[in-house]
């Protein structure tokens, strides 16, 4: 099995308090996860006071938690934070008005481990403490992950949610390691039918940006609020498609051909 630590990113979107980031780092350290990414935190992350609050919340004696904080990366937007990832899941206690499949935490973490066994870079999104991820952020994930809790009491502190998620991932990791390794013949059979790895998110996002540009130029979207729903559904579809880089390249070629044909027709009518 490949090293899972190098292939699991915890992405906090718009975290509100430095203390919660520190406690999240401690939760990650408890489970051996070290890749922490912050997207537009609502405090000055590089400010000394914010760093001190985070370090204090991480625990004075937790060297791994402090390492997590010191290596944390800060991004100005979500696509940048996900650029190198190939599979992404989003956590939310609330159902969202967006076409994203739902799965419970145990099922999702089993999928994460399976993806890591294929050496795919994976990430798990967590929204801001008060509201969670919004619809536009949710569509970057292939599934919405929920933690089964008592009815009417599904809200968790950010660090609690990260701890439960990382712990469940750790259990899925142990379960996978307990399964006997495949025989060489079985492994060859699996490899023969194995699909190319999903494209990195920066490749997919670049294509989707160009696709939306072409659709707007073709007056595909209606001039109503429905257009936003259509855009989200389109992104959600591709997020769960696991399209490979070669497939994206083929789709890019189709876009170029359609754009060239439209330009030719426009020139003839002029």
> pLDDT, tens digit, for every residue of 222-253?
888 788 888 888 888 888 888 888 888 888 88
240 Cβ neighbours under 8 A, 6+ residues apart = 100, 101, 142, 143
Q: Mean pLDDT in the chain?
A: 84
3-state helix, strand, coil in the chain (%, to 5): 55, 10, 35
pLDDT at 171: 93
Is the whole-model pTM more than 0.75? Answer: yes
- Say which residue, 266 or 210, is predicted with more confidence: 210
Report residue 254's pLDDT band, with 50, 70 and 90 as the boundaries. confident
Q: How confident is the model at residue 153 (pLDDT cuts 50, 70, 90)?
A: confident
| pLDDT at 99 > cutoff 50 | yes
Query: What DSSP state is assigned to residue 18?
Result: H
Over residues 113-121, mean pLDDT: 91
Share of the chain above pLDDT 70, in %: 87
Specify whether the CB–CB gap between 126 and 156 falls below 8 A. Answer: no
More confident residue, 51 or 159: 159
Beta-sheet pairing, 8-13 with 122-126: parallel
Task: Return d(Cα 265, Cα 269) in angstroms, integer.
Answer: 6
pLDDT for 97 beyond 70: no
Q: Is the pLDDT of residue 264 over 80?
A: no
- Decide which of 168 and 194 is more confident: 168
pLDDT digits (tens, 9 = 90+) for 24-33: 999 999 999 9
**pLDDT value of position 186:** 43
What H or E segment, with its residue span, contains residue 101? none
């Amino acid at each position: 099995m490949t090293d899972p630590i190098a292939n699991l990113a915890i992405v906090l979107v718009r975290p509100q308090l430095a203390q919660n980031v520190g406690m999240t780092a401690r939760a990650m350290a408890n489970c051996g996860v070290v890749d922490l990414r912050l997207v537009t935190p609502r405090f000055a992350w590089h400010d000394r006071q914010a760093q001190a609050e985070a370090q204090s919340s991480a625990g004075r004696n937790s060297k791994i938690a402090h390492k997590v904080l010191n290596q944390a990366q800060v991004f100005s937007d979500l696509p940048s934070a996900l650029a190198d990832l190939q599979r992404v899941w989003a956590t939310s206690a609330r159902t969202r008005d967006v076409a994203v499949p739902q799965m419970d935490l145990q099922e999702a973490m089993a999928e994460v481990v399976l993806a890591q066994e294929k050496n795919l870079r994976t990430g798990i999104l967590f929204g801001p403490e008060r509201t969670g991820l919004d619809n536009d952020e949710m569509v970057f994930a292939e599934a919405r992950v929920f933690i089964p809790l008592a009815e009417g009491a599904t809200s968790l502190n950010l660090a609690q949610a990260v701890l439960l998620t990382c712990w469940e991932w750790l259990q899925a990791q142990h379960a996978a390691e307990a399964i006997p390794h495949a025989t060489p013949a079985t492994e060859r059979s699996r490899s023969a039918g194995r699909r190319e790895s999903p494209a990195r998110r920066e490749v997919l996002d670049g294509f989707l940006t160009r696709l939306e540009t072409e659709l707007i130029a073709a007056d595909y979207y209606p001039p109503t609020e429905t257009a936003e729903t259509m855009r989200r559904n389109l992104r959600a579809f591709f997020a769960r498609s696991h399209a490979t880089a070669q497939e994206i390249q083929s789709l890019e070629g189709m876009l170029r051909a359609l754009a060239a044909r439209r330009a030719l027709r426009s020139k003839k009518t002029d």
